[in-house]
Amino acid sequence: MPFKPAVSGPDGPNSDPARLLRAAGMDERELPAIAPLRFPLPLAPGIAEAPTRFTTNPRPPPSGDPLTRALAALRDLEDRYDPDLTIIEGAGGLLVPMPGGTWLSDWIDGLRAIPLVVGRLGLGTVNHTLLTIEALRTRGMNPTGFVLSKTKQRRDPSTLQNPDIIARASGLPCLGVLPHTEFPPRDWHATDLWTRLRAGESAE
């Protein structure tokens, strides 16, 4: 089951929540349930919620209210669907500003999620992915693995070695390399990534 606790930008059929619903085969009426906090401005969710909060001096203290609302929405969804696995989508990176003056790392902890690092497959991903893994570990969070996604059709010789380099340097398994595609598979439960995610969950 998909869950995106905070999303920013316009609604519509190409929004992240709408794509998640289609990929999971869920009714479109569940959109408010899988994306409980939505903000129209196309900015990081925390900035879209309060544009000056992260730049005000002195900065207001963080508020846990948005995270509490998201956790309640997640529990309600899981009570109704009893899913084998819930995949919580973040918002662009570990250090992205989130609602309530918090950061995405606070939400991983608050939602009691096991991190799965997702990066692009091409040039530059070794540095970005390893930095994210290191930042998670310094916060006491142990990722279950990483997934790389091919974001462009063009050839990139670095894609042949990047998964192995990251796996060797981090000690984490590469749980999948996703091809470039405009639309997700209709039955994503049948993909190899699903099998690998379940195996990683069982190993925790």
Give the catalytic positions in this structure. Answer: 4
Q: At what angle do helices 162-170 and 125-138 cross, to 10 degrees?
A: 20
Q: How many CA within 13 A on the CB side of residue 6? A: 33
Please give the Cα distance from 35 to 26 (Å, whole number).
13
Cβ(129)–Cβ(166) below 8 Å: yes
* Contact assessment for residue 150 and residue 177, using Cβ atoms and an 8 Å cutoff: yes
DSSP β-ladder status, 97-98 and 102-103: antiparallel
On the CB side of 69, CA atoms within 13 Å amount to 15
